[in-house]
């Protein structure tokens, strides 16, 4: 399926399973994951106390970019990967180039995690909160193109 994908979005654990070894050199390892011709984003790699990084490999440009962000302390992370990849797919579908779609997806999921952290759900993990109006201009652009 990977050769048919525009982007795959493994977290660091999934990336290690796909690679068959621990992440050692992110820039080399992420390009290895893109060997099927798809772009790759490896999510949630610890990058210093209180920080996480996501790394994007754009298969078209052969460029690797780091997205560094503060770690949000919360147990409400259910749906993070699905919401993040869906946001990116939505931005690509609304005519954003890959890197900008990922930037906007990063902003979206950070806000969804932050808003979800405000709630308490039982004793386990809870969901992120992706139900907010994020960017009215994207919606306007779709309607204006029709």
Per DSSP, the residues of 43-108 read EEEE-STTEEEEEEEETTTTEEEEEEEEPP--S--BTHHHHHHHHHHHHHHTT--HHHHHHHHHHH
Residue 137 binned pLDDT confidence (cut-offs 50, 70, 90): low
Res 9 pLDDT > 70: yes
Burial class (CB in 10 A: 0-12, 13-18, 19+), 52: middle
Q: What confidence tens digit (pLDDT) does each residue in 67-120 have? A: 999 999 999 999 999 999 999 999 999 999 999 999 999 999 999 999 988 888
Q: Strand 63-70 to strand 39-46: parallel, antiparallel, or no bridges (unpaired)?
A: unpaired
pLDDT of res. 40: 98
Please state the domain extents for the chain: 1-71, 74-146
pLDDT digits (tens, 9 = 90+) for 23-46: 999 999 999 999 999 999 999 999
pLDDT at 124: 83
Question: What number is the average pLDDT over the span 56-77?
Answer: 95
Give the C-alpha separation, 146 to 126, whole Å.
38
Quickly count: other Cβ atoms within 10 Å of residue 20's Cβ.
Answer: 7
Query: How many angstroms separate the CA atoms of 1 and 108, rounded?
Result: 26
User: Coil, helix or strand for 112?
Assistant: helix
Mean pLDDT computed over 57-75: 96
Residues 6+ apart with CB under 8 A from 130: 79, 83, 87, 108, 109, 112
């Amino acid at each position: 399926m990977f050769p048919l994908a525009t982007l795959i979005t493994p977290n660091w654990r999934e990336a290690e399973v796909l690679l068959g070894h621990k992440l050692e050199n992110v820039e080399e390892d992420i390009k290895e994951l893109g060997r099927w011709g798809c772009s790759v984003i490896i999510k949630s790699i610890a990058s210093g106390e209180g920080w996480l990084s996501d790394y994007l490999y754009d298969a078209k440009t052969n460029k690797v970019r780091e997205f560094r962000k503060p770690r949000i302390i919360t147990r409400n992370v259910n749906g993070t990967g699905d919401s993040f990849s869906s946001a990116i797919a939505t931005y690509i579908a609304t005519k954003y180039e890959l890197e900008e779609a990922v930037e906007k997806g990063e902003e979206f999921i950070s806000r969804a995690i932050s808003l979800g952290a405000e709630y308490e759900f039982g004793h386990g993990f809870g969901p992120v909160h992706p139900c907010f109006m994020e960017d009215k201009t994207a919606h306007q652009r779709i309607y204006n193109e029709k």
